[in-house]
């Protein structure tokens, strides 16, 4: 579409849609690529291709809520969906993702793995049988990487015995199955996991720091603006970029929320663009909509 050079090619057709459709598109969750995300995705790909050995490398992604850990991992999971292997006549699941819920136990964790594999078990099954089934299925499906999100919830277990058992599982699971574990959580998880001598030697920490005004942050904002179906090009000056960091506290989810709100306002007002003044008019305290 002519005059659509300011948006990504896949967004160009949206420019001719009516206001309500374009606003709905802005409100939808979408992937926005930026250098930091590309670096992490490439690291995950290299980890997935690592040859199997008794001591597999693992990764710990750390960041406060809203920094984009889960979206990154979901993106990687979609890029490595299960596929049918014709030559082996079986399903191949290279990457499996689970989320640790609050108050976890080893039995519940195994249950979540089985549920993710669409192989739920009965509540009366013995723990040893559940464990054997998990190990058998992961081997049979050729799983090379287990992604464990919200790993900080391990430390919400009421009983210390449950916490100790979950920590022991994180130590032994990768060696037993010869797979890499990718854990994601808050700084609490980093302090606990890397405070364990055995885990610290296996897990490479990767921290998603809050954004600061920089060339990289300008790239993030630029990608976000190009993903929005506004009919006029948007541009923010350095002062507006710094103010955006301040009002969002550098949290990725808040940044996207602020820009989405401004894009919606730009459509409704007919401005069709986000300018520096619109950002600078926002109060320093984060708005509820951006939390």
Q: Which residues are bridge partners to 243 per DSSP?
A: none
pLDDT, position 35: 83
CA distances to 106, 252, 278 from 241, rounded to whole Å, are 45, 13, 11
Supply 209's token pair.
């720091």
Task: Give dist(CA 175, CA 113) in Å, integer.
Answer: 17
Counting beta carbons within 10 angstroms of the beta carbon of residue 244, is it exposed (0 to 12), middle (13 to 18) or buried (19 or more)? Answer: buried
Task: Give dist(CA 211, CA 67) in Å, integer.
Answer: 9
What pTM did the predictor assign? 0.86
What is the distance in angstroms between the CA of the first residue and the CA of the last residue of the chain? 35
pLDDT, position 146: 96
State the DSSP H helix or E strand holding residue 290, giving kind and residue range, or none if neither: none
State the DSSP H helix or E strand holding residue 167, giving kind and residue range, or none if neither: helix 160-177
Question: Crossing angle for the helix pair 215-226 and 252-269, nearest 10 degrees?
Answer: 40
pLDDT, position 291: 36
192 in Cβ contact with 155 (< 8 Å): yes
Over the chain (291 residues), the average pLDDT of each successive run of 10 is 82 94 92 87 94 90 92 92 67 91 92 89 82 93 94 86 88 90 88 77 88 94 95 96 96 96 97 97 65 36
* pLDDT tens sequence across 223-246: 999 999 999 999 999 999 999 999
Nearest to 145 by CA among 88, 75, 80: 80
Task: Give dist(CA 202, CA 141) in Å, integer.
Answer: 24
257 in Cβ contact with 208 (< 8 Å): no
CATH of 35-207, one of 3.40.50.300, 3.30.70.141, 1.10.3720.10, 3.90.1150.10: 3.40.50.300
Q: Which residue's entry shows tokens 């590309």?
A: 38
* Own/partner pairs, 81-85, CB within 8 angstroms, 24+ separation: 82/141, 85/142
Nearest to 3 by CA among 240, 233, 287: 233
Supply 194's token pair.
């890397």
Q: Would you kindly state where each structural domain of the chain is located, as residue ranges?
A: 9-30+227-290, 35-207
pLDDT, position 41: 94
15 in Cβ contact with 4 (< 8 Å): yes
* pLDDT tens sequence across 132-188: 999 999 999 999 999 999 999 988 877 889 888 988 898 888 889 999 999 999 888
Task: Give dist(CA 186, CA 174) in Å, integer.
Answer: 21
């Amino acid at each position: 579409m002519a005059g659509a050079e300011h948006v990504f090619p896949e967004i160009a057709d949206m420019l001719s849609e009516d206001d309500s459709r374009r606003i709905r598109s802005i409100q939808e969750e979408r992937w926005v690529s930026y250098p930091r995300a590309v670096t992490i995705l490439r690291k995950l790909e290299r980890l997935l291709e690592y040859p199997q050995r008794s001591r597999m490398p693992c990764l710990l992604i750390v960041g406060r809520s809203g920094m984009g850990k889960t979206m990154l991992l979901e993106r990687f999971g979609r890029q490595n969906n299960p596929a049918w292997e014709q030559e082996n006549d079986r399903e191949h699941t290279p990457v499996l993702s689970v989320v640790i819920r609050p108050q976890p136990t080893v039995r519940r964790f195994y249950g979540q793995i089985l549920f993710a594999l669409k192989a739920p078990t009965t509540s009366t099954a013995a723990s040893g049988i559940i464990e054997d089934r998990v190990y058998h299925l992961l081997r049979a499906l050729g799983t090379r990487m287990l992604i464990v999100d919200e790993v900080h919830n391990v430390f919400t277990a009421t009983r210390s015995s449950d916490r100790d058992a979950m920590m022991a599982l994180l130590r032994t699971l990768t060696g037993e199955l010869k797979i890499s574990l990718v854990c994601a959580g808050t700084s609490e998880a980093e302090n606990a996991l890397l405070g364990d001598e055995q885990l610290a030697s296996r897990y490479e920490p990767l921290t998603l720091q809050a954004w600061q005004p920089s060339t990289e942050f300008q790239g993030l904002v630029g990608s976000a603006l190009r993903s929005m179906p506004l009919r006029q090009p948007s541009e923010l000056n350095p002062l507006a970029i710094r103010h955006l960091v301040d009002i969002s506290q550098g949290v990725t989810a808040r940044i996207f929320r602020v820009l989405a709100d401004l894009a919606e306002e730009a459509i409704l007002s007919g401005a069709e663009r986000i300018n520096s003044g619109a950002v600078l008019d926002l109060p320093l305290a984060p708005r509820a909509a951006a939390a």
